[in-house]
Structure 1
Amino acid sequence: MSVIQNIQDKYAKLMAVIIALALIIFVVMLAFENGGSLFRGGNTTVVGKVDGKEIDYNSIEPRVKQQEDANRQQGYPADMARQTALEQVWSQEVGKIILESEADKLGMQIGKKELGDILYGANPPEDLKRMFSDPNTGVYNAQKAKQDIDQMLKAKTTPKEQKAQFNTFLNYLELIRINDKYNSLLLNTTNFPKWFIEKQNAENSQIANISLVRQAYSSIPDSVVKVTDKEVQDYISKHKEQFKQEESRAISYVSFSALPTGTDSSAAHERLMQLKPGFDSASNMQDYLEAQGVETFYNGYIKGEKIQVPSKDSIIRVPVGTTYGPYIDGGNYSIAKLLGARTQPDSVTVRHILIATAQQDPQTGALTPVRDSASAKKIIDSIRTAINTGSNFDSLVAQLSEDPGSKQTGGKYENMVSGPPLDVAFNEFIFGNPVGSKGIVKTVFGYHYIEILSAKGASTAYKIAYLGVPIEASNETDGSANNAASQFASSSRDKKAFDANAEKLQAKGINKAFAQDITPTASQVMGLGSSRTFVKAIYDADLGDVLDPIKVGDNYVVALVTEVNEKGTQSVAKSRMMVEPLLRNQKKAEEITKKIGNITTLEAAAAAMGNQPIERADSIRISGMPPSPLVSSEPKVLGAAFNPANKGKVVTQAIPGNNGVYVLRVDNVSATAVADANVAEQRKQRYEQAKMRGAGYYQQALMQAANIKDNRAKFF
């Protein structure tokens, strides 16, 4: 017992140290497995790098969000709006870093004098031009612009945020100028020498008559020509540029529908019919619909041809005050009530002065309060009084109106058509009153003093209220699809079981499908729809893994990861489909060429090729235009036909082309007059064409040359 006690006493501290070291090693391994660092805690915010320069998550996320809101305003679906925004902002940031790097290498800078020219020169930014141009003459007041900007930057009372926004604006303008300089540097060096154009004209003027014998590759069955993996790999190694690939994955998948059933549709119909009495009898339709959660009711008249709803013709034919429906509208059962019908102008032209209570963000559409309602009403009343006593409308617009959309046109909007996106109150005033009417209207933007200047045409407009109930899958329907997917996944844990079980489902009308080229930052999966969650799950899995069911749109999807393609060069399996036909045709060409042997005459070659017919192609040109059915897709044959050494001779080497092997005799080569011999004009046209294409070419080249590391998939 004492011996054991001595061992325990002697080695207790040593064992404690060993355990502590083991715990430390475990923590370090865990940190590195999760992409972290022992000293940084793994909390990196680096989304990517361009030639070593980091792109931080915190710097681009606000811009992605802003662009996403703008995309939604333009009608993008939610997932697509996010994905598109991420690509847009990422491309902008990468392009900006590359451009700045190139500019630094070349010593390109924007000095104070040049910056002054950008802001106050002959071509000022549109934002400044709108703010500091005379409304009557349209002339830009550069001096006033400089005074106001200098005062804003120097004033201690100017909010820091405003100064920061202006500096961001300046950085943006400088970047545009740098980009213009870089474009000019490259594009203005484009040159098409006179000798080059003349040589091309001379070549294009040549015309040849040839005779040939050909044997198509299709004459030899593909099954007798084998291409090994090593041969494919050797070809890839020699042509690596053609087989570059980005990181991507591929899947096969089975989807189980969770779409609403007939029972679900009947339930939606029943819910709508329960709401119909309240809809029929509502005395204040706006309040009633808001209580039902409807936010899209337009409580104004809309020109008939602008109404785009199913059953429109039936809805507008019922008596005013009558409800029509139910009817199917997309994924809803809907009813519609005709609240009113009237004859009104097809379009009107108005002018107005706005005193704002709120300002709209042009990107997001969000409204920000800028003035209280009482103050705005007091100002607009004074404007009406001033106009009634003879003040000039245009002058008041220039001095006081806060509508950027019409300030430069004297407050005028021409040929306006009723309905959204016009504010309802604005819409009702200008289409509900005769030409010459003047008045004050309150909208969500503030108070407007409006004058109706003219009107065109006349037709019927309608005020219609709509109420819909979505046809949605019930919990039972959704659960049934989820259960079916879960059962399939649980019994399909490897590729063999997955394929076997998928084959059994074909009898139920459920088929296995495939999706390829899924990138790490994608949200869209071909054939399924959009789901960032699904793409992340695919990248969290390994090759051959079967994913647990994930809902994508109206389906529960079980996927098998069939390909994991790393960034770099394509594998033999991936590229075989492209390479194998090329190598097979090379082998066929060698076999046909060997059979032909030494070429002396066209007739002998024809006999050696199995008595192939001798064919003629007359009046062919090196450009391939007009195309010849025999040789238009065979550049090697065209090249041999116009080789001066071959004129009047049989070409002694068989020519392996794209479609077969050719033996050629050049019967004659002559020249015709050059159709357009104005070399100076041709050079000018080529130069202009190159300039138009050039910017895209150099940007693509810079992107390919840059070392870009993209870690967006870990953050978005």
Structure 2
Amino acid sequence: MSVIQKIRDKAAWIVIGAIALALIAFIVQDAFMGQGGRGGWFSGSSTSLGKVNGTNIDYRDFETRYKMAEENYRAQNYPVNDQLRNNIRETLWNEFVEDVLMGDEYEKLGIRVGEKELGDILYGANPPQMLKQQFTDSTGHFNAGAAYQAVKSLKKGTPQFESFQEFQYSLMKSRQKEKFTSLLGKSMYVPKWLLEKSNAENSQRSSISYVNVPYSSISDSTVKITDEDVKEYVNKNQEMYKQENERSLVYVTFDAAPSQPDSLAIFDALVKQKEALAAANTTTDIQTLLANNSSETPYFDGYVLSSHMQMGNADTLRKLADGQVFGPYLDGPNYTLAKMVGRRSMPDSVKCRHILIKIADQQGQTRTDSVAHKLIDSIVAAIKGGANFDSMVVKFSDDAGSKDKKGEYEFSSMQFSNLSKEFAETIFYGNTGDKKVVKVEAPAYSGYHYIEVLSQKKIETAFKLAYLSRPIVPSDETVNGASGMAQQFASENRSLDAFNDNATKKKLNKFPSEVKESDFMIMGLGESREIIRWAFTEAKKGSVAEHAYLVGDKYVVPAVTGVYEKGTMSVEKARPLVEYKIRNIKKAEELTKKIGNAATLDAVAQATGQQVRRADSLAFASTFIPNVGPEMRVLGASFNKDYQAKISTPIKGEIGVFVIKVENIFSTPNPNFDAKAQQQQMQQQMGAMIGYRSIEILKKTADIKDNRIKFF
């Protein structure tokens, strides 16, 4: 027993030591690798979204500005969907890159914007539109002092302060860019002699006779293109065959769209609600019924003019009796029941004027309901007693938007739903000449309105309809079936060969696609960023995704067929692009030999079995030859005077080998040519374009490392 106990004691120390070593190894590994592979203690910054000429773009700074931009779009009621998010990120990335590149250039050139200049931008003769709108009085005067005090009152650390700081920063960048582009624009100069020479050349015309020996006269199958041929051609034309970091994909899809039984089930569910919708007689009853059935179309408690009813089945809906229900019918992606709630006469447009007495006035001081009510009553009494309406608007109305317009507004019936219910019903349901006080609860215009209806136009019948609509969506059974088949396909095919074989056996369509790191969409699929991230961060050539991705109403299983790093294209990638060009080069050599030493066009035609043709009045500035196409080499040779005395050497064109003879070269004067005016126009155009082009040139020459694929 003592021997066994000694072994146990020693084993315990061994086990404890092993656990300790394992923990140390785990910690060290985490230090070097970092969680999720995003960098540890010694791996450098894990928040580097990219680098521009060695300057880091931090993910946290990027996300801060991204969130501010997204909130700004939300505040303006833009639909913040995946497409908009991607657009924001792409725009921000370009801004960050441009900030680094242009910041260096501004520093070299001494282009700065100081506090005094910033003050002039904000409060000078041409203030930003945002400030101008908020601090312009009813006379149209911009109150720079009020704007300055409002900005000064912003407290550090608040969202408003941070947002305004970002706004100021963007204004300063914009001013720096203006200075930079203006500096470059002023440097543009087009010499007069160059314009005169260009005008003289462009006025030239030529007439030629030619023989075209098409490449199609030699069968493609007789010309072999080797990998060495492709490599040699690409190496000679490297600038034309540069590639980004790209992946070639192939994918199969499994449809999870609604099936016929799914559609029928939704149809039947609406049929069961038809009597309930017919029985709902009050606004509350209708709204409750629609809410309980998750209607896609909310209830609009207003009328729509007959001429504005452009939906399908509009004629049928107009003929419904009050209380009658029609449907279910197919309305876009939904099945819908429509109930005629009522009808009335209503104008298409209204002109009115009003005076608003807010319950809380513009200075933020509380005005009680009773005080506001007494004030509006006294205003109405004064107007009835002969007081001028316009004067009362200027003196009392709390609606800054209409003070300088005598309190007047014009609204179309399409704006009904944007107005407060009480205000809209007064001007659209009343009659011309009506004068009425209404209380409005809407926050921005909360208070008492004295309204006068000045005019109403295009009065016609309008209809109030309630729609109970349900989207045609797939059932759980349909979704699970498609998901199950897709997951099974992904798990069974762990190599590209197996993927291809089983896709063929199962008669699945395979869709090829090329994607770049910065792409968010795959052609034919739509928004597919997760698949693209997988292809660049996890997959290798020949990899098949371990699981299916849901894209829209399809489950997608992708595989990587090619991996292409940034640089010159590989033979495999370049072959489809250059093969026909190399083939034509080889064909041109054969055709040139066939032409031999023929000294006349007739001899060329006889040797090649072609005809002598003619082209008249070819313009020097043209880009194509009638009945031939864009043959720039042939056009250039058409103005070579050497070919007037003898035929040209064989010219390797786009569609074949040409031999030409110049019959005549002449000029057609341009009496409207004004060298000075054209000089000014070209310099202005070049000056306007130079800013954009200079930034693009800087991007091309910069060392830009893009790590966005690791983050989103």
Specify the TM-score bucket, using the shorter chain as the normaliser: 0.7 to 0.9
Q: Sort the Cα spacing of 1:288 and 1:196 in 2 relative to 1 into closer, same or farther, 3 A.
A: same
Q: Distance in 2 between the 1:338 and 1:131 partners? A: 44
Q: Distance in 1 between the 2:178 and 2:354 partners? A: 39
Q: Sort the Cα spacing of 1:374 and 1:466 in 2 relative to 1 into closer, same or farther, 3 A.
A: farther
Q: Sort the Cα spacing of 1:541 and 1:307 in 2 relative to 1 into closer, same or farther, 3 A.
A: farther
CA contact 2:252–2:558 (8 Å) conserved in 1: yes
Which residue in the other structure is 2:112 paired with? 109
CA apart distance, 1:189: 2.6
Q: Distance in 1 between the 2:157 and 2:356 partners? A: 25
Cα deviation 1:593-648 (Å, max 9, x = unaligned): 233334533334334x42432222222121127x532565222122222134x152
CA apart distance, 1:36: 0.8
Q: Distance in 2 between the 1:100 and 1:550 partners? A: 42
Which residue in the other structure is 1:365 paired with? none
Q: Distance in 2 between the 1:522 and 1:376 partners? A: 57
Q: Which amino acid aligns with 1:171?
A: Y
CA apart distance, 1:318: 0.6
Q: Sort the Cα spacing of 1:403 and 1:553 in 2 relative to 1 into closer, same or farther, 3 A.
A: farther
Q: Which amino acid aligns with 1:669?
A: I
Q: Distance in 2 between the 1:102 and 1:291 partners? A: 62
Which residue in the other structure is 1:189 paired with? 187
- 2:342 is equivalent to residue 340 of structure 1: yes
CA apart distance, 1:408: 6.0
How many residues are treated as equivalent by the alignment?
690
Pick the aligned partner of 2:227 from 222, 226, 229: 229
> After the TM superposition, which residues 237-256 of structure 1 pair with which residues of structure 2 at under 5 Å, given as runs?
237-256=235-254
> After the TM superposition, which residues 478-517 of structure 1 pair with which residues of structure 2 at under 5 Å, given as runs?
478-506=479-507, 510-517=508-515
CA contact 1:310–1:329 (8 Å) conserved in 2: yes
CA contact 2:32–2:41 (8 Å) conserved in 1: no
Cα deviation 1:297-333 (Å, max 9, x = unaligned): 2211222333444323222211112222111222322
Q: Distance in 2 between the 1:63 and 1:245 partners? A: 31
CA contact 1:598–1:652 (8 Å) conserved in 2: no
Q: Distance in 1 between the 2:586 and 2:556 partners? A: 44
Which residue in the other structure is 2:102 paired with? 99
Q: Distance in 1 between the 2:593 and 2:497 partners? A: 46
> After the TM superposition, which residues 390-405 of structure 1 pair with which residues of structure 2 at under 5 Å, given as runs?
none
Unaligned stretches of 5+ residues in structure 2: none
Pick the aligned partner of 1:87 from 81, 87, 90: 90
> After the TM superposition, which residues 634-713 of structure 1 pair with which residues of structure 2 at under 5 Å, given as runs?
634-644=631-641, 646=642, 648-713=644-709
Between 1:561-570 and 1:687-696, the stretch displaced more is 687-696
CA apart distance, 1:211: 1.9
Q: Distance in 2 between the 1:26 and 1:114 partners? A: 53
Q: Distance in 1 between the 2:249 and 2:410 partners? A: 54
Pick the aligned partner of 2:432 from 431, 435, 440: 435
Q: Sort the Cα spacing of 1:615 and 1:576 in 2 relative to 1 into closer, same or farther, 3 A.
A: same
Q: Which amino acid aligns with 1:305?
A: S
CA apart distance, 1:529: 2.8
- Match of 1:389, SS state, is helix
Q: Distance in 2 between the 1:393 and 1:268 partners? A: 57
The RMSD of aligned alpha carbons is: 3.7
Between 1:226-235 and 1:348-357, the stretch displaced more is 348-357
CA apart distance, 1:494: 1.8
Which residue in the other structure is 2:583 paired with? 584
CA contact 1:211–1:615 (8 Å) conserved in 2: yes
Q: Sort the Cα spacing of 1:350 and 1:184 in 2 relative to 1 into closer, same or farther, 3 A.
A: farther
Between 1:674-683 and 1:574-583, the stretch displaced more is 674-683
- Match of 2:337, SS state, is strand
Cα deviation 1:417-464 (Å, max 9, x = unaligned): 244444444332221122333433333533262443322111122221
Between 1:415-424 and 1:266-275, the stretch displaced more is 415-424
Query: Quick one: percent identity of the two aligned structures?
Result: 38
Structure 2 length as normaliser, TM-score?
0.86
Q: Sort the Cα spacing of 1:380 and 1:589 in 2 relative to 1 into closer, same or farther, 3 A.
A: farther
Which residue in the other structure is 2:135 paired with? 132
CA contact 2:215–2:655 (8 Å) conserved in 1: yes
- Match of 2:273, SS state, is helix
CA contact 1:357–1:371 (8 Å) conserved in 2: no
- Match of 1:445, SS state, is helix
- Match of 1:683, SS state, is helix
CA apart distance, 1:266: 2.2
Between 1:375-384 and 1:258-267, the stretch displaced more is 375-384
Cα deviation 1:270-303 (Å, max 9, x = unaligned): 3223333332222322344344445732211222
CA apart distance, 1:198: 0.7
Q: Which amino acid aligns with 1:703?
A: K
Cα deviation 1:656-681 (Å, max 9, x = unaligned): 11221122222221222225322222
Q: Distance in 1 between the 2:360 and 2:471 partners? A: 34
CA apart distance, 1:522: 3.6
Which residue in the other structure is 1:543 paired with? 541
- 2:281 is equivalent to residue 280 of structure 1: no
CA apart distance, 1:470: 2.6
Unaligned stretches of 5+ residues in structure 1: 360-368
CA contact 1:205–1:674 (8 Å) conserved in 2: yes
- Match of 2:473, SS state, is coil
CA contact 1:602–1:650 (8 Å) conserved in 2: no
CA contact 2:204–2:619 (8 Å) conserved in 1: yes
Q: Distance in 1 between the 2:696 and 2:399 partners? A: 41
Q: Sort the Cα spacing of 1:268 and 1:90 in 2 relative to 1 into closer, same or farther, 3 A.
A: same
Q: Distance in 2 between the 1:76 and 1:157 partners? A: 31
CA apart distance, 1:199: 0.6
CA contact 1:260–1:474 (8 Å) conserved in 2: yes
Q: Sort the Cα spacing of 1:686 and 1:714 in 2 relative to 1 into closer, same or farther, 3 A.
A: same
Q: Which amino acid aligns with 1:178?
A: Q
CA apart distance, 1:376: 7.3
CA contact 2:594–2:608 (8 Å) conserved in 1: no
Q: Sort the Cα spacing of 1:411 and 1:534 in 2 relative to 1 into closer, same or farther, 3 A.
A: farther
Q: Distance in 2 between the 1:260 and 1:184 partners? A: 58
Q: Distance in 1 between the 2:123 and 2:31 partners? A: 59
Q: Distance in 2 between the 1:399 and 1:51 partners? A: 61
CA contact 2:68–2:163 (8 Å) conserved in 1: no
Which residue in the other structure is 2:123 paired with? 120
CA contact 1:544–1:561 (8 Å) conserved in 2: yes
Structure 1 length as normaliser, TM-score?
0.86
Q: Distance in 2 between the 1:381 and 1:522 partners? A: 63
- Match of 1:583, SS state, is helix
Q: Sort the Cα spacing of 1:570 and 1:381 in 2 relative to 1 into closer, same or farther, 3 A.
A: farther
